[in-house]
Chain A
Amino acid sequence: MSEMRFTKDHEWIRVDGAEGTVGITDYAQHALGDVVFVELPAAGREVAQGAEAAVVESVKAASEVYAPVSGTVTAANAALQETPALVNESPEGDGWFFRLRLADAGQLAVLMDRAAYDEFVKTLE
């Protein structure tokens, strides 16, 4: 299983070679509440680390999802259009948002590993 890394804005990225899969964490989906809609990037779009890549909406909130690293989007999770609830049910699995081809694997270094992220989340509570 490829390693996951996390951002302070509660995105995760799972890297497999030159490709990464991006989603939001369980903490984020819980804070949002029931997800009702997601706005996903089109394949081919270039995203920069820390810039807005997607939007996730609950009934009462809309949050930007930022790209954890720079790259080019290769696919978006079409299942989320029909069933946005997947983000709540399986935030780190079937509720993934999009895949991208990494521009610079070195950017992963500034992200947290799971242990560090869990510690970070504790400080928020």
Chain B
Amino acid sequence: MTEAPTISGNRGLQLEEPLIFELGRPGRAGIDLPPPPPVDHDRLAGMRRSGPIGLPDLAEPQVVRHYTRLSQKNYGIDSGLYPLGSCTMKHNPRLSEKMARLPGLADIHPFQPMSTVQGALEVIDRLAGWLKALTGMPAVAMAPAAGAHGEWCGLMAIRACHEHRGQSLRRRVLVPESAHGTNPASAAMCGFTVDSIPARDDGRVDLAALKAKLGDDVACLMLTNPNTCGLFEGEIQEIAAAVHAAGAFFYCDGANFNAIVGRVRVADLGVDAMHINLHKTFATPHGGGGPGSGPTVLSADLAPFAPLPHVVHGAQGFRLVEHAAEAPDARPFGRVKGYHGQFGVFVRALAYIMSMGGDGLFQASGDAVLNANYLLARLGEALTPSFPGPCMHECLFDDRFLKDSGITTLDFAKALIDEGFHPMTMYFPLVVHGALLMEPTESESLESLDQFVAVVQGLAARAKAGNAEEFKQAPRLTPRRRLDETLAARNPVLRWKAE
């Protein structure tokens, strides 16, 4: 396991790279600037900085080399299959990057006179139109910056609507126990309490249990559909009807929209509000943790409460409504972030949507579901599926296949890393033990899936054959191995400090 070390500490193309602060040398510079124009005196009110900041100085070649080496330690969708459940790691088209960099879209300021940015407002309006058409919903709030932000936005609209109707005692939100953590967190940020609904043995929401929890203090139900087990909630229309009959709203977490985009309109399922993750379903890059964008579609009842700003189209062209007074028929609950939304992400998502079209999206969701069911079918013997098929765009396994092996889901995932794959989602959802949730997306070819299947089958066989030690040592081949997360949490070191 321990090879003879090299003199440099490098291993072939695996290059060790210090922190940027350890590379600097005063007097270097990566940018040249013209000298400032002479001025009589400054306008700093004596508030000039007196001490050093402590930033390193480097030249351009060093900076390029530093970040190039860092990038080489990363895995991305461009590197290979990235089967993270509910993340929808599909291919990020490069056309989107090119369009986002057109000077007419990249080099415009949000506070230019509106007459000078009609094309930008048209981008927002066209994307909004697509999202409304794909969901069948009459309105969309474009501003939220990510999925969780969209959840909060939808819940705020719901709370504002109940308050407006004199139903301010509706403070309880029903959330399935399988829900993503953002759901209860978003509800708490709106001043709601969270009440958990159990799942049935088949992985779906227990309708009877839901009905028992409904009451006139319930503001809404938050449901992910397809759910976090990768299953479509077949009783969703009955669920929606029960929720509406109880005077509550139905919020749908749209993280798994990729399973049904272009095939099912959520309005037909009885949904009142749903956030859409542009960085999932609409192929904008994940960037190592954002930026995302979470536009939230709204029903007619909730539409008046949508946050500012809105893009409207009238005789004079496109306009941004930025103040409540400009929209007398609306009751916006407020502003959710600065400026007009994640415009750069809108451009990328719209480029993807226009490239795919209605027919392409229909095929994409079908292929996504096909790919997940293929994995479920081919891995159903080697692993233990948690629920019988068909699944939607992701398939869920649990750790029963590892029973008595001494190997955990974590160990299995680390072994997968040595094989050149990013692991699937582990330990989520919490409703099964040692969950392994896989979402291949429609971007994977049959060869890619077959390769993945062969490797997972091989690993499962080794696990069952009792090679526990091998799994415990994994990963062996990565630049870093089994990092000590306990130490990181007990003694947090969250920045570099000069000696």
Contact = CB atoms under 8 A, between A and B. Distances in A.
Contacts of B427: 60
Contacts of A34: 486, 490
14 contacts: A33-B486, A34-B486, A34-B490, A36-B489, A36-B490, A37-B489, A37-B490, A57-B489, A59-B485, A59-B486, A59-B489, A60-B427, A84-B490, A85-B490
Interface in A51-71: 57, 59-60
Interface residues on chain A, size class: under 10
Contacts of B490: 34, 36-37, 84-85
Contacts of B485: 59
A37 B486 CA distance: 10
Given A33-B486, A85-B490, 12 more contacts: A34-B486, A34-B490, A36-B486, A36-B489, A36-B490, A37-B489, A37-B490, A57-B489, A59-B485, A59-B486, A59-B489, A60-B427
Interface in A69-92: 84-85
A57 B489 CA distance: 10
Interface of B: 427, 485-486, 489-490
Nearest to A88: B486
A60 B490 CA distance: 13
A59 B490 CA distance: 9
A34 B427 CA distance: 17
> Which of B427, B485, B486 has most A Cβ within 10 Å?
B486
A40 B318 CA distance: 56
Contacts of A59: 485-486, 489
A33 B485 CA distance: 11
**Which 4 A-B pairs have CB atoms at the shortest separation, nearest pair first?**
A36-B489, A34-B486, A59-B485, A36-B490
Interface string A20-48: 00000000000001101100000000000
Nearest to A37: B489
A34 B487 CA distance: 9
A37 to B, nearest CB: 7
A64 to B, nearest CB: 15
A36 B490 CA distance: 5
A40 B125 CA distance: 52
Nearest to A34: B486
A34 to B, nearest CB: 4
A33 B486 CA distance: 9
Contacts of A60: 427
Contacts of A37: 489-490
B487 to A, nearest CB: 9
